[in-house]
Amino acid sequence: MNFKELVKSNRSYRRYDEEYNLKREDLEYFIDLARMTASAANRQPLKYYLANDKETNEKVFETLSWAGYIEDWDEPKKGERPSGYIVILGDKTISKNYFCDPGITAQTILLGARDKELGGCIFAAINKKKLRENLNLPNKFEILYVISLGKPVEKVVLEDMNNNDIKYWRDEKQIHHVPKRGLKEIIIN
């Protein structure tokens, strides 16, 4: 798979084969990729909490809001949930402004996962108070994003956006369609 194919195949996957065993060493490999990325003024304020056992996964899962635009589907059912999570934290003792570091590391983790035939999704809609309690996260860490990870069992396709309609949708075969703006719309000169 060339790089463009990798980027294109790296969709936001929300249904997984929950039986897939995501190993701690796989998660550490992804963090090692994140560790090597650029960081604003090289401060490297991001820290990571890893989850890959059933009990901890459940503690993360219950704090996430899934796929806001799909009205008849609240969350993946049992058996289709992620095999693990990476919680991206900002260490406030290092910096209180993370610039674009979280996106850099999240995308690197997800491309790395896709390269291993896994997939994931970035969550910003998190019950952060509950997640902090559930994982016993010290206050010096700001909860920024959660990445779910697993073996995807859904098909996600990109399509051209019409009428400025940004809502992704699922068809009757449960294929997930994501409208994207065209190049001419996003390049302004």
Chain residues binding a second copy by CB under 8 A are 2-4, 6-8, 10-12, 28, 31-38, 40-44, 46-50, 68-69, 89, 99-108, 110-112, 115, 121-122, 124, 135, 141, 144-145, 158, 166-168, 178-183, 186-189
Q: CB nearer to a second copy: give 31 or 131.
A: 31
Q: CB nearer to a second copy: give 82 or 102.
A: 102
Kindly state the smallest distance separating residue 155's Cβ from a second copy, in Å: 16
Q: CB nearer to a second copy: give 19 or 55.
A: 55
Q: CB nearer to a second copy: give 52 or 81.
A: 52
Kindly state the smallest distance separating residue 187's Cβ from a second copy, in Å: 5
| φ, ψ at 114 (rounded to 5°) | -60, -40
Quick one: how far is CA 184 from the chain centroid?
A: 28
The answer to whether the beta carbons of residues 134 and 143 sit under 8 Å apart is no
Q: CB nearer to a second copy: give 18 or 143.
A: 143
Please tell me the distance from the alpha carbon of residue 131 to that of residue 113, in angstroms, as a whole number: 23
Please tell me the distance from the alpha carbon of residue 85 to that of residue 66, in angstroms, as a whole number: 14
Vertex 155, ends 159 and 82: CA angle to 5°? 125
Please tell me the distance from the alpha carbon of residue 102 to that of residue 100, in angstroms, as a whole number: 6
Sheet holding 156-160, edge to edge: 156-160, 176-180, 169-170
Q: Which of 143, 147, 30 is nearest to 83 (CA)?
A: 147
The answer to whether the beta carbons of residues 83 and 150 sit under 8 Å apart is yes
Q: CB nearer to a second copy: give 79 or 167.
A: 167
Quick one: how far is CA 167 from the chain centroid?
A: 18
